[in-house]
Amino acid sequence: MRKRAGPRRPTQVEIAQRAGVSQATVSLVLNGGPGVPVAEETRRRVQQAIEDLGYAVNPAARALRGMTVKTIGLYTFESVFPVDQRDFYHPFLLGVEEEAARLGYDLLLFTSANTAHGGVYARGRNALLKADGCVLLGRHISRDDLANLAKEGFPFVFIGRRDIEGTELSYVAPDYVTPTAALVEELVALGHRRILLLRQIDGAEPGDDRELGLRQGAQAAGLSPDDLVVEFSSGAEDIGTDRVTGWVRAGITAVVVEPSEDNASGLALAEVAEAADLRIPDHLSVAFLGSAPPPTATRIWTSFEIPRVEIGRAAVQLLVNLLEGAEQPPLQLVVPCTDVRGNSISRVVRR
């Protein structure tokens, strides 16, 4: 038996057809409030169509009746609540909370982690309609959810670059390309001629950006594409002695690592290298293309820091710009990262 779909937010086209007006008129009423140049009778027809089609569950519809809501949501595709200061997501959440408070918006937290099927539409309708708009984040996303939200016209900003075929999304993302390219150029200047990129198996667009930076940096430094190696890791369990020593035997002198949230692959690489008597950076230079493991008494990892608090703040700023009609989607912002100078890379000593 076919499952009956739950209520969903209608599109502006459906509202316009119901009210007998243009989509532009619906947009004026929805975004402009009572002061926009729309005839009162036309406004009433649009509002009635909104009510008839079930749009009243959206805070935007309540705002049309004079009730200012000013609530933004924060939705995660992973189980990130509660978090502590050591958690990868904590700085993002801190930035979102601080900026929402500064701009006078309440913050409503959503999560799909404990639902049976997960996802924004797990219960047959858009669960985010309790908020005016939403900041979304998470590594393991539902691309269908993002596409459906964009199709509905629901205002959201994603933390991280995501590409959906046929749809442009609003997002704030770290610039992985520029610092990766700069790091590769530095490695080549230090004499490295065989460089390996260790990607996360589910790295998606962030991994693509790092690989693009790898190739741009190599080209700028005059390194042959044949001297670049790209491999994938699913975690610490697939970083073994044979794999790491095999890199060295193949002439690889530098490994650049796409970090995961817990940096398991990078930490396993360091442990395996030490056990195999491959000293970092004497025998193998290692750098992290993003936030590295914490420094120790003897090791500061060469890396670059993702400005996670600032990205959280910027995501709220973009979302509020959308909600208040200052700009139209998509809004896309790439934020520079900060170099971390460590002692895990060095000049190649030719024997």
Region 197-216: mean pLDDT is 93
Share of the chain above pLDDT 90, in %: 54
Higher pLDDT, 11 or 176: 176
Least confident of 148-152, 154-158, 253-257, 274-278: 148-152
Region 37-52: mean pLDDT is 79
Judgement on whether residues 179 and 201 belong to the same structural domain of the protein: yes
Judgement on whether residues 23 and 111 belong to the same structural domain of the protein: no
Look up the pTM and report it: 0.78
Dihedral angle computed from the Cα positions of residues 118, 318, 163 and 168, in that order, rounded to the nearest 10 degrees: 110
pLDDT digits (tens, 9 = 90+) for 218-228: 999 999 999 99
Q: What is the rounded CA–CA span in Å between residue 12 and residue 6? A: 19
Judgement on whether residues 165 and 222 belong to the same structural domain of the protein: no
350 found inside a domain:
no
Q: What is the rounded CA–CA span in Å between residue 230 and residue 214? A: 10
Higher pLDDT, 39 or 143: 143
pLDDT recorded at residue 61:
46
Q: Per the structure, how many domains does the chain have? A: 3
pLDDT band at 54 (very low <50, low <70, confident <90, very high): low
In CATH, what number is assigned to the domain containing residue 40? 1.10.260.40
Share of the chain above pLDDT 70, in %: 85
pLDDT band at 86 (very low <50, low <70, confident <90, very high): low
Judgement on whether residues 110 and 18 belong to the same structural domain of the protein: no
204 found inside a domain:
yes
Return the SS3 of 108. strand
62 found inside a domain:
no
221 found inside a domain:
yes
Assess whether pLDDT exceeds 80 at residue 28: no
Judgement on whether residues 146 and 228 belong to the same structural domain of the protein: no
pLDDT band at 118 (very low <50, low <70, confident <90, very high): low
Residue 261 CA: distances (Å) to CA of 7, 258, 346:
36, 10, 26
pLDDT recorded at residue 62:
47
Judgement on whether residues 186 and 157 belong to the same structural domain of the protein: no
Alpha helices, H only, the chain: 12-19, 23-32, 40-52, 59-64, 90-102, 143-152, 177-189, 204-220, 241-249, 264-275, 308-323
347 found inside a domain:
no
151 found inside a domain:
yes
Assess whether pLDDT exceeds 90 at residue 119: no
Higher pLDDT, 294 or 40: 294
Instruction: For tokens 């044949």, name the residue.
Output: 226
Higher pLDDT, 332 or 79: 332
Assess whether pLDDT exceeds 90 at residue 302: yes
Judgement on whether residues 204 and 136 belong to the same structural domain of the protein: no
Judgement on whether residues 117 and 203 belong to the same structural domain of the protein: no
Q: Which of 11, 311, 338, 323 is nearest to 158 (CA)?
A: 311
- Residue after which a domain boundary falls, among 305, 326, 346: 305
Identify the domain containing residue 289 by its residue range.
175-305
Least confident of 34-48, 120-134, 252-266, 312-326: 34-48
Judgement on whether residues 165 and 183 belong to the same structural domain of the protein: no
Assess whether pLDDT exceeds 50 at residue 157: yes
Judgement on whether residues 133 and 227 belong to the same structural domain of the protein: no
Judgement on whether residues 155 and 205 belong to the same structural domain of the protein: no
79 found inside a domain:
yes
Judgement on whether residues 111 and 195 belong to the same structural domain of the protein: no
In CATH, what number is assigned to the domain containing residue 133? 3.40.50.2300
Q: What is the rounded CA–CA span in Å between residue 31 and residue 17? A: 18
Q: Is the peptide bond before 225 cis (omega within 30 degrees of 0)?
A: no
Assess whether pLDDT exceeds 60 at residue 51: yes
Region 223-252: mean pLDDT is 94
2 found inside a domain:
no
Least confident of 56-60, 116-120, 277-281, 296-300: 56-60
